[in-house]
Amino acid sequence: MVDQTVSPDSNSIVAEIPGSWNLEFDDEFNGNSLNAPWQPVQPYSAKATLPPGELESYDSAGVSVSNGLLHLTASKQRTYGRAYQSGLVQAGGIMGSKTAPKFSFTYGYMEVSAQIPAGKGFWPAIWMLPASYHNIIGGEIDVLETFGGNTSNPFFTVHRRGRTQQFSMNGVDLSQGFHTYGVDWEPDHITWYIDGQAVATTTNTKLIPTEAMYPIINLAVGGLGGRPPASTTFPEEMDVDYVRIWQQGS
């Protein structure tokens, strides 16, 4: 069930995958500012910097809303001691805090329409962390990641209690236009989707998170994406058209 409800814009919006679904959350990013429950801060600490390996610092200056889109912008701008500045939004809080997430849900289908950037060094991601902030025990679901500028080779991953299962595929260049990235998270399976087509499934219940999760969307620089070469252009954006979450209906 949804633990903190955000009213959807319309109950007539239909999920891309089969099933009886009730729309519980819908942000179309209309207007000119970020809607609740999103926060433009990373979840690991109150500081804006990240562990070694990634080259960006997340800052609210890297997050904007206009023309019906959420823009996460990576720029070659030194911020908080890092060489790059970028954008992240999340519906949770700060790990280690006692503040409950602004929004979380337990089981359901999340669908994000987004256009990811091309270029070596970018690491766009759509993912979820547990409401308890104990991601080792509670788990992590990575709905989408692409590494090293190879936007035709997405990855789909679940982590829990020191175990990991990761899937990948080769297909169309996902940087060419908007695509939908979905995950159906249920007690007995997790299935990942691109444009309404199932691309990976796990039925390993030891890996499937059982507690409420909250969504995160970010555009990292460096890390698993590699160091940007001189040929990578900045600024660059990851654009998000909507985030929708359904749960099983009767």
> N- to C-terminal Cα distance for the chain?
13
d(CA 37, CA 159): 25
CATH number at residue 171: 2.60.120.200
Q: How many CB atoms lie within 10 A of CB 115?
A: 17
In order along the chain (250 residues), what is the average pLDDT of each group of 10 residues? 49 85 96 94 65 85 97 93 92 80 96 97 96 89 93 97 96 96 98 97 97 96 94 97 92
Q: What is the DSSP letter of 138?
A: H
- Helix or strand or coil: residue 60? helix
Give me the phi and psi of 231, to 5 degrees please: -75, -15
User: Residue 172 falls within a domain, yes or no?
Assistant: yes
pLDDT at 141: 98
- Please answer whether residues 160 and 207 qualify as being in contact, where contact means their C-beta atoms are separated by less than 8 angstroms: yes
Give me the phi and psi of 56, to 5 degrees please: -100, 160
pLDDT at 81: 83
Number of domains in the chain: 1
User: Residue 142 falls within a domain, yes or no?
Assistant: yes
pLDDT at 52: 65
R_g over Cα of the chain = 17
The model's pTM is 0.93
pLDDT at 250: 63
- Please answer whether residues 88 and 41 qualify as being in contact, where contact means their C-beta atoms are separated by less than 8 angstroms: yes
What sign has the CA pseudo-torsion 100, 124, 137, 211?
positive
pLDDT at 156: 98
Domain range for residue 172? Answer: 37-239
Any idea which residue has 């691309």 for tokens? 199
Sequence-ordered alpha helix ranges (H) in the chain: 135-138
pLDDT at 241: 98
User: Residue 249 falls within a domain, yes or no?
Assistant: no
Instruction: Give the closest residue to 92 by CA, choosing from 37, 138, 135.
Output: 37
User: Residue 51 falls within a domain, yes or no?
Assistant: yes
pLDDT at 150: 94
User: Residue 12 falls within a domain, yes or no?
Assistant: no
pLDDT at 39: 92
User: Residue 245 falls within a domain, yes or no?
Assistant: no
What sign has the CA pseudo-torsion 98, 91, 149, 194?
positive
d(CA 93, CA 42): 8
Active site residue ranges: 140, 145
